[in-house]
Amino acid sequence: MERTIAEINEKIRAGKATVWTLAELKARLESLSIAEAARQVDVVTTGTFEPMESSGAIINLGPTDPPIKLRQCWLDGIPAYSGFGAVDLYLGAAQSLDPNSEAGEADSLRERGGGHVIADLIAGKAIPLRAVGYVTDCYPRASLETVISKQTINQFYLYNPRNLYQNFIVGVNGGDRPLYTYLGPLQPQLGNAVYACGGALSPLLNDPYLRLVGIGTRIFLGGGIGYVAWEGTQHFPLQKRLANDTPIGPAATLALIGDAKQMDPFWVRGCYFKHYGASLMLGVGVPLPVLDQEVIARCAIRDEEVVAPVIDFSIPRRVRPTFGMVNYAQLKSGKIKIEGKTVQTAPLTSLYFGQRIAEVLKDWIHSGRFTLTEPIAPLPRDRAFLPQQPWMPAASDD
């Protein structure tokens, strides 16, 4: 049984494509053979909804009169990067409030960041903008104070350098004080464990070598249409793998792009981790074309067959000690055992919303609104991972 993407698209346009969500497929494989499932289904839809802090928005304000070249800019008190085109901005999801802003210290206490401003703009809210210009002969304007919304800005799209981790770690705290991390609070003496990947429902764990997903792949991004732009930052395809080819920790990542004006605020939300900072909760859905039986065989992976390392955050080093591997069936049961101790687990990925996104994408394909794309180029499979070693001057004698 083999199909091409062109054949699948023809079926989608004719309203005859069979689409199952990943969870549906896994449930049907209890009674259906891989060959039979591959014969029946054309597309498998996957979804995930989790904090993706390496995200941000490109905004082009549109030229002002008289023209301005932005030197510094704040959107609702959150600094946006402006060191490129005259009225181009990049607003990072993890950007926190400017402690030196006019509102001062009171402002820095607000639990708000770039992710909240991005989500507010997508929701159609008005956002105050304040900017200082770099005065030149071409751009005489020295400052700008206005209110923007997605209707009044020329362009507004998400460009996220690192989304959709193929797999991730499990965070615990073996120390004696609470830690406030990007995985939320970790309580001392192994008080809790947090995982941040959907396991067997994680889109890219069902395509371990990224055979189906490449540059140019069309996806669901924040309730709108997006595309895979590039490998994500810290893309690490050479991560160790199990015999079933799934990586044992963080591995592939993707850079994603999509028009934010079309997105739905339900699937794009600002969030804040206490004493850590701001981020963006974002929904991503990836369609997997069933080209042959191998696609289904890969999607048959179960939570018992995917693992993640348990990492101790009490040692703040790049290489933190690990308590070994656990599988996602154990993690999703709510309890794992670490060194004989039972530890409560919790996800930091909405398994419920992830499934809903897979359902939405399935509906889009059924209705003909969404067709599949051939990747333009594959994502790298053998990229080395270089840590940053700060250059140290030679020790002097004094």
In this structure, are residues 220 and 361 in contact, taking their beta carbons and an 8 Å threshold?
Answer: yes
Q: Which is nearer to other proteins, 8 or 193 (CB)?
A: 193
Q: Across-strand partners of 159?
A: 257
Binding residue (CB under 8 A) for other proteins from 9, 160, 202, 345: 345
We find the least distance from the C-beta atom of residue 346 to other proteins, in angstroms, to be 3
When asked if residue 346 is in the footprint of other proteins (CB under 8 A), the reply is yes
Helix (H) or strand (E) holding 258: strand 254-259
Is residue 73 flagged as an active site residue? no
When asked if residue 99 is in the footprint of other proteins (CB under 8 A), the reply is no
When asked if residue 254 is in the footprint of other proteins (CB under 8 A), the reply is no
Is the bond leading into 203 cis (omega within 30 degrees of zero)?
A: no
Cβ neighbours for 48, distance < 8 A, ≥ 6 positions apart: 164, 198, 201, 202, 203, 283, 284, 285, 349, 354, 357
Q: Which is nearer to other proteins, 241 or 332 (CB)?
A: 332
In this structure, are residues 82 and 61 in contact, taking their beta carbons and an 8 Å threshold?
Answer: no
CA proximity to 8, closest of 362, 270, 373:
373
Q: Which is nearer to other proteins, 192 or 322 (CB)?
A: 192
Tell me which stretch binds other proteins (CB under 8 A): 215-223, 298-306, 343-351, 367-375: 343-351
Tokens of 396: 């002097």
When asked if residue 338 is in the footprint of other proteins (CB under 8 A), the reply is no
We find the least distance from the C-beta atom of residue 232 to other proteins, in angstroms, to be 21
The residue behind tokens 């530890």 is 343
The rounded distance, in Å, linking the Cα atoms of 258 and 264 is 12
In this structure, are residues 46 and 164 in contact, taking their beta carbons and an 8 Å threshold?
Answer: no
Q: Across-strand partners of 56?
A: 92
Q: Where are the beta strands (DSSP E) in 143-223?
A: 143-148, 155-163, 170-172, 179-181, 184-186, 193-195, 218-221
The bridge status of strand 170-172 relative to strand 307-312 is parallel
257-286: which residues touch other proteins (CB under 8 A)?
269, 271-274, 279, 281
The bridge status of strand 43-51 relative to strand 277-289 is antiparallel
The residue behind tokens 């509906």 is 363
We find the least distance from the C-beta atom of residue 51 to other proteins, in angstroms, to be 7
We find the least distance from the C-beta atom of residue 365 to other proteins, in angstroms, to be 23
Task: Mark residue 222 as left, alpha or beta (left: phi above 0; alpha: psi -120 to 50; beta: remaining).
Answer: left
In this structure, are residues 241 and 247 in contact, taking their beta carbons and an 8 Å threshold?
Answer: yes
Q: Can you list the alpha helix ranges (DSSP code H) found in the chain?
A: 5-13, 22-28, 34-40, 105-108, 114-122, 293-299, 328-332, 351-366
We find the least distance from the C-beta atom of residue 79 to other proteins, in angstroms, to be 21
Q: Which is nearer to other proteins, 148 or 183 (CB)?
A: 183
Binding residue (CB under 8 A) for other proteins from 17, 43, 51, 260: 51
When asked if residue 43 is in the footprint of other proteins (CB under 8 A), the reply is no
When asked if residue 334 is in the footprint of other proteins (CB under 8 A), the reply is yes
Q: Which is nearer to other proteins, 8 or 278 (CB)?
A: 278
Candidates 138, 197, 271, 299; catalytic one: 138
Tell me which stretch binds other proteins (CB under 8 A): 28-36, 183-191, 249-257, 371-379: 183-191
Per-residue x/- track, 107-136, other proteins (CB under 8 A): ----x-------------------------
We find the least distance from the C-beta atom of residue 363 to other proteins, in angstroms, to be 18
Binding residue (CB under 8 A) for other proteins from 45, 206, 349, 371: 349
Tell me which stretch binds other proteins (CB under 8 A): 49-57, 84-92, 100-108, 237-245: 49-57
Residue numbers at the binding site for other proteins (CB under 8 A): 49-51, 111, 184-185, 187, 191-194, 269, 271-274, 279, 281, 334, 344-353, 355
Please identify every residue annotated as catalytic: 138
